[in-house]
Chains A and B, each alone.
Chain A
Amino acid sequence: MKLLKLVPDHTNIHFLKWRVPFYIISLVLMAASWGLVLTKGLNLGVDFIGGQMIRVTFERSAEAPVSTLREEVGKLGYGEPIIQRYGKPNEISIRMKLPEGADHEAALADKMARTITADIKKNHADARIDGVDSVSGKVSKELGWDAFKALGLASLAVAAYIWLRFEWQFGVGALFALVHDVTLTLGLFALTGMEFDLNIVAALLTLIGYSLNDTIVVYDRIRENMKKFRKMPMPELLDLSVNETLARTIVTSLSMLITLVALLLLGPDVIFGFTAAITLGIFVGTYSSIYMAAPILIWLKVNPNSFVPTETALEKQERLARDGA
């Protein structure tokens, strides 16, 4: 059987030649992402800002009557609802702030949910209430803080691990690539206005783990080649390492994308945002392991001697004796 070869056997692409322009592009994209997050903001779900979210499916409609609903729910006296589609056009989530004083009197939040769901059912015969989430202000603050802590700690922990296994420059490089991936994903969420909830934080954490896979594979090869070719200049050595691992990088990324695209197109609609975040992250992660994580090693001046076992005094004596003889 003739096997499929996506990447020819001995590639010699000068990836690193383009490192400066790609770095500039990435830095600009990162800045743009932060700019979007700070100015437009993330569309935070009730998990992080508190409030109530009601999920509704309109079973016999092709499309949910969003503007009618907005008017109907708005008239109930609980303020303007945020109505958003997720997954299919007939599946929506309605988000509202909790009524004044609901932090002390839980019954108020209850009454609001009952009023709204009853009103929707009355006006739309095919409406199916799929779920109601009520999160108080206090709990949402904690959830937000926990998410922030988890993301921060995870990034630092994996960077520390890589420092431990490689050298500090590799740790910094991995951390940078990671921040790059997470930032661009956040940027996508700010740009598209997809809802940002607890599940997305889980996706980002997964991303931290998986986008690092590529980085580690490339780093592992760089370390190996540094031991093998001690005299080779860094840019050349990095190019060699990236080229050697290129086939694997492409095949693995494609494998992940195949399953993720299946999940994105056919999977549960409720986790569309979650899957989208991971898919983008995997894509960006592959790029960043080549163009962010590797070149930074040149600028941080990795020393090829770092991976050579240091000589003990005895070994030195023996070597000198051997050489002298």
Chain B
Amino acid sequence: MLDFPRWKVIWLWFITLTCVAAAIPSLTSTMGLSWPTALPEPKVNLGLDLAGGSHILLEADPAQVRQQRIEGMEESVRNKLKQDGKDIRISDISNRDGALTFVVADPSQVDAVREAVLPLTNGAGLTGQRDWDINVVDGNRFVLAPTEAGVNQAVTQAMDTAVEVVRKRIDALGTKEPTIIRSGPTRIVVQVPGLQDPQALKNLLGQTAKLEFKLVDTSALPSDVARGIAPPGSEIVPFISPAEGGGVPSIAVKRLGGIRGDQLTNAQQTNNQQTNEPVVNITFNTDGGAKFAKLTTQNVGKQFAIILDGKVLSAPTINEPIMGGSAIISGRFTTESANALAISLRSGALPVDLKVVEERTVGPDLGADSIRKGMIAMGVGTLALAVFILVTYGRFGVYANLAVIINVLMILGIMGIIGTTLTLPGIAGFVLTIGAAVDANVLINERIREERHRGRKVTQAVELGYKEASRAIFDANITNVIAAVLMFAFGSGPVKGFAVVLMIGIATSVFTAVTLTRMWVAQWLRRARPTEIAL
């Protein structure tokens, strides 16, 4: 127990000094000193509650992804049947109620349709399930329903894309060191340190930026449109503001035959040269430009609607074909909103709407105040504790105090090395660990005291003290680990940070309070060979 060969001593000091050295950059930065850039800089990150900043939790609705898939399927089926050229007529198409249904006019063609539709589905998941269920009811009515596995797969893909889009948009804002991570199947956590006014950020993330160009259905009666009734094949879309529609709140547009504004190479906020009103100038890529040219060429003289996220920005008349591959979007923007739209269009549309379900913003002063007070509390607490332990245990108290100080530095160092974040409750975790870390030494020292009273020799008493106390120390720490692990598993942001500090603290306190002090005591015993110890 008390035998420490040289290699072991060197090894223990190596671990200790490495971890302590790693704590230096964190300490110097708190004191406002600079750190040479040539050296590695393992620094503890400050959580949002200490550094100030914004935490935003975004959530997507899987039902929307499902509906998008159904609408996409409708288009695929129509195109496929058109391409096959077998003159198959379908009617009574509906994409409502969670499935795509349509009737094949000639029941003898049901098998041909099934053959045409089947390649449009894919495998989903590992169970050999497909992403769509195809059923035929009443002899000739097809029911295409997306399976759960298919929807889940689509949601996963949509969220992966969404994270990328969110990242591009936040980068475009020029904020530094944002954290963007998936959280569960339908959520994204965005954390931006130092950001005080998350409004611009939220405007940017709240905009799906799905841009569409659709032809206006002029056959619709204004009275029907006002009541929300669209002619077959059309839909009612509201204007972004009634003023844009000339006092009319919404307009009927043809559901199919439009194009989407996602094939862009650039989008810029500029000002309209005549009116000086902020507008967004978009540039299509080759494919998108060709489609746009075709749409405008075939529909000269007709009115088309520019729709952003389900709202009509404007509905101009096509005066002449637009061949240049670029277009100007106006829509009563402010400079900020035009700029936000330009960024959103450049970064691509979000595959699914994201909603803010949780938001936490912390001012910078509160955090600085908390760090300062936390440091003071830690200093005073440690000092008072050190005095108490010193007068209670004498020499053994010095060892215990040394262990506590090394423990604090090691926690900081390890946090820096693994790059964890220090949060406000984490500071409390720190202080708590200091109080709890001496417990191991108290247990050991009391035990040594007891063994001495039973008449054991010094060396034997020390040895037994460490051995007998270790059991309780071990069991007690395991229960702390259990609590910390569950805290980490179920906690959110700051609480997770606290759990990490606790876990690191448990590990380092056992190391410093048991292993290191034992080494020191053993070395002292060998050197001084005391026959009596003050305890």
Contact = CB atoms under 8 A, between A and B. Distances in A.
B492 A259 contact: no
A21 interface: no
A221 B447 CA distance: 11
A318 interface: no
Given A4-B391, A134-B358, A154 B442 contact: no
Contacts of A248: 442-443, 446
Contacts of B356: 106, 109, 134
A133 interface: yes
Contacts of A150: 486-487, 489-491
Nearest to A140: B358
A96 interface: no
Interface of A is mostly: helix
A250 to B, nearest CB: 9
A207 to B, nearest CB: 8
Interface stretch (A24-32, A183-191, A266-274): A266-274
Interface in B373-428: 373-374, 376-378, 380-382, 384-385, 388-389, 391-394, 424-425, 427-428
A67 B535 CA distance: 58
Interface string B454-494: 00000000000000100110011011111110110111101
B130 interface: no
A161 B535 CA distance: 34
Nearest to A47: B492
Contact of A154 (B425, B439, B482, B535): B482
A220 B358 CA distance: 46
B10 interface: no
A40 interface: no
A23 to B, nearest CB: 23
A267 B483 contact: no
B377 A263 contact: yes
B30 to A, nearest CB: 15
B358 A135 contact: yes
B365 interface: yes
Contacts of B502: 206, 209
B394 A1 contact: yes
A33 B468 CA distance: 38
A269 B373 contact: yes
A258 B480 contact: no
A262 interface: yes
Contact of B389 (A154, A210, A255): A255
A308 interface: no
Contacts of B425: 199, 202, 271, 274
A247 B445 CA distance: 10
B73 interface: no
A106 B479 contact: no
Nearest to B57: A139
A138 B289 CA distance: 43
B450 A244 contact: yes
A157 B427 contact: no
Chain A interface size range: 35 or more
A107 B198 CA distance: 12
Nearest to A91: B366
Contacts of B199: 110, 114
Contact of B535 (A3, A147, A201, A217): A3
Interface in A134-189: 134-136, 138-139, 143, 146-147, 149-150, 153-154, 157-158, 161-162, 165
Contact of A255 (B369, B439, B471, B499): B439
B486 A202 contact: no
Interface residues of B, number: 77
A201 B376 CA distance: 25
B359 interface: yes
A263 B379 CA distance: 10
Interface stretch (B81-89, B327-335, B429-437): B429-437
A132 B360 contact: yes
Interface of B is mostly: helix
Contacts of B394: 1, 3
A165 B475 contact: yes
Contact of B486 (A130, A134, A153, A216): A153
Most chain A beta carbons < 10 A, residue from B206, B362, B490: B490
Nearest to A6: B392
Contacts of A135: 357-359
A38 interface: no
A128 B443 CA distance: 47
A281 B122 CA distance: 57
Contacts of B142: none
A180 to B, nearest CB: 16
Given A139-B57, A267-B373, A251 B392 contact: yes
Given A202-B498, A212-B479, A252 B366 contact: no
Contact of A213 (B358, B366, B436, B535): B436
A202 B373 contact: no
A236 B389 CA distance: 31
B453 interface: yes
A291 B504 CA distance: 32
Nearest to B48: A131
Contact of B439 (A162, A252, A278): A252
A104 B369 CA distance: 36
Contact of A106 (B202, B360, B495): B202
B491 A198 contact: yes
B465 to A, nearest CB: 11
Given A202-B491, A268-B424, A217 B476 contact: yes
A256 interface: yes
A60 B34 CA distance: 33
Interface string B193-215: 00000010010001000000000
A267 B479 contact: no
A267 B486 contact: no
Nearest to A202: B495
A145 B173 CA distance: 36
Interface string B512-535: 000000000000000000000011
Interface string A203-242: 0011011101100110011001000000000000000000
Contacts of B428: 263, 267, 271, 274-275, 278
Contacts of A139: 57, 357-358
A254 B388 CA distance: 9
19 contacts: A107-B206, A132-B360, A135-B358, A136-B358, A165-B475, A199-B425, A202-B487, A202-B498, A205-B486, A209-B481, A216-B476, A244-B450, A248-B442, A251-B392, A252-B439, A254-B388, A256-B439, A267-B428, A271-B424
Given A209-B483, A256-B436, A262-B431, 11 more contacts: A135-B357, A139-B357, A150-B491, A201-B491, A202-B425, A206-B502, A208-B479, A216-B479, A266-B376, A268-B377, A275-B428
